[in-house]
Chain A
Amino acid sequence: MTDIRYLSPNTLDEAISAFAAAGSAARILAGGTDLLVQMRSGAVRPGLIVDIKKIAEMTSIEQTADGGFRVGAAVSGMVLLEHPRFGKVWPGVLEAVNLIGSKQVQGRASAGGNLCNGSPAGDSVPAMVAAGAIVTVQGPNGRREMPVEQVPAGPGRTNLKPGEILVSFTLPPRPPGSSDAYLRMIPRTEMDIAVVGVGVSLTLRDGICIAARVGLGAVAPTVLLVEAAAKALIGSTLDDAALDAAASACSAACRPIDDKRGTVVYRTKVAGVLLKRTVAIAATRARGN
């Protein structure tokens, strides 16, 4: 009845050789909260499922020597939530990851899966983009690193090469006065897909914003890094003029679709509104650091 194979290797090398050998019919299984739904609906019929959760590097959270974090691609939202330090340093990344699905889904779903699923509306992605996360990818030709915003290629597609597996996210160390935030617009209170999602990470010194990154989701074929919005914030006191300019930059970056959750006009306007609200939250947190 079925010719699907299931493997759960203990090492990355084993996972990559099996994954690469099986070609395009193979799928990586982390939390499975997208893959199993796609299999059930018939959208995906993998010949091989490679469960990566026995690979220690992919399920662990480590603090790096320079004070950053390395989060394994298959770490679930609940495990990230329970980490004693991560949410204090990266509250925006954590709140984004913890908006993915229900508590049941949180127990399984990972930021790596959220990224590789390739949805333009994945909640963790704009927050990871704002955070300046670097992903480590490993394939038959070895390891490489790339900025997280370069991973999505379009709806359901990534820039990973055949046989490559997303291994981990590395988040940089935080200077004093830094924090981040993520907000999404949904018409319900829980369990919904973002109409717009905004991630903001910034650093304040003596009341001046000296560093900022803005990630914008659900308004284009991929999650966007909006450099023009960050530029409008940097050097300002986050005054109204700077916020207006950054909001306009976000709206200008939008290339959204019309669908049942939001029109082009609505998403474009909300992108600017959410930017201002997200900056306000990140700035309040940063002042406390």
Chain B
Amino acid sequence: MSKLHISTTVNGEPAEFLCEASDTMLDVLRGPLGLTGSKEGCASGDCGACSILLDDRLVCSCLMLAAESEGHQLRTIEGMARGDHLHPLQQKFLELAALQCGICTSGMLVASDALLKKNPHPSEEEVRYWLAGNLCRCTGYDKIVRAVMETAADMREQGNMEARQ
């Protein structure tokens, strides 16, 4: 069986690859596309370490076939920083030490970014429910939740300042 030839867009750049029908998006991101920021924790959609955006919608890349990406827009953790300029969530995770081993961090950041785009003013409860599909074995979650809340507050403040100028 010949491989499938897929054309998609990853972090705003056109990307092409060959894959088997059964390859997951995560297999292809980490393999042929060399984007190893997305992690494989459980491979069954429970841990969220492989979270990416598919057409701006948060999904587990382990629960998606690579072939399904044909013609769609993908965003991964590699597209979050602008060069050396970290996204505010990334910066805040560092400042508050909202990570330890780091395996869950890419997924936490991608999922948190999706939340703040949808809801710039989440309550703590909303953050916790939104991140229920992202498992962390190290931090106990408190620092992660605090980092998301503080980033949201900072970004709102930033937005207000820009609006006043």
Option from A33, A39, A53 in Cβ contact (under 8 Å) with B22? A39
Q: Is the CB of B65 within 8 A of A105?
A: no
Q: Which residues in chain B, 20-77, are within 8 Å of chain A measured between CB atoms? A: 20-22, 24, 43-46, 48, 51, 54, 57-60, 62-65, 67-68, 70
B101 adjacent to chain A (CB < 8 Å): no
Q: Is the CB of B45 within 8 A of A105?
A: yes
Q: Which residues in chain A, 25-73, are within 8 Å of chain B measured between CB atoms? A: 29, 31-33, 36-37, 39-41, 49, 51, 53
Q: Is the CB of B48 within 8 A of A102?
A: yes
- B55 to A, closest residue via Cβ: A107
Given contacts A4-B22, A5-B21, A6-B4, contact A104 B68 (CB under 8 A): no
Q: Is the CB of B63 within 8 A of A103?
A: no
Q: Is the CB of B21 within 8 A of A107?
A: no
Interface size class of A (residues with CB under 8 A): 20 to 34
Q: Is the CB of A49 within 8 A of B45?
A: no
How far is A36 from B46 in the complex, measured between Cα atoms in Å? 12
Q: Is the CB of B67 within 8 A of A3?
A: no
A215 to chain B, nearest CB (A): 25
- B54 to A, closest residue via Cβ: A107
Q: Is the CB of A102 within 8 A of B68?
A: no
Q: Is the CB of B70 within 8 A of A8?
A: yes
Tell me if B's interface is mostly helix, strand, loop or mixed: mixed
Stretch in contact with the other chain, from B7-15, B91-99, B127-135: B127-135
Given contacts A2-B1, A104-B111, contact A191 B132 (CB under 8 A): yes
How far is A37 from B42 in the complex, measured between Cα atoms in Å? 10
Option from B4, B67, B132 in Cβ contact (under 8 Å) with A102? B132
- A47 to B, closest residue via Cβ: B21
A100 to chain B, nearest CB (A): 11
Option from B44, B68, B130 in Cβ contact (under 8 Å) with A103? B130
Interface centre among A5, A31, A103 (most CB of B within 10 A): A103
Q: Is the CB of A36 within 8 A of B111?
A: no
> Hey, which chain B residues are within 8 Å of A29, CB to CB?
65, 68
How far is A215 from B105 in the complex, measured between Cα atoms in Å? 40
A1 to chain B, nearest CB (A): 7
How far is A105 from B47 in the complex, measured between Cα atoms in Å? 11
A108 adjacent to chain B (CB < 8 Å): yes
- B50 to A, closest residue via Cβ: A104
B47 to chain A, nearest CB (A): 9
> Hey, which chain A residues are within 8 Å of B58, CB to CB?
103-104, 107
Option from A31, A53, A190 in Cβ contact (under 8 Å) with B132? A190
Q: Is the CB of A191 within 8 A of B65?
A: no
A274 to chain B, nearest CB (A): 21
Q: Is the CB of B21 within 8 A of A36?
A: no
- A76 to B, closest residue via Cβ: B57
Q: Is the CB of B65 within 8 A of A6?
A: yes
How far is A40 from B64 in the complex, measured between Cα atoms in Å? 12
- B23 to A, closest residue via Cβ: A2
A101 adjacent to chain B (CB < 8 Å): yes
- B110 to A, closest residue via Cβ: A104
11 contacts between A and B (CB under 8 A): A32-B65, A51-B65, A51-B68, A102-B45, A103-B115, A104-B59, A104-B60, A104-B63, A105-B133, A107-B54, A189-B132
Q: A3-B1, A6-B65 are in contact. List 14 more A-B contacts (CB 8 A).
A: A4-B1, A29-B68, A37-B45, A40-B44, A41-B44, A51-B65, A53-B68, A102-B133, A103-B58, A103-B111, A104-B63, A107-B59, A108-B59, A190-B129
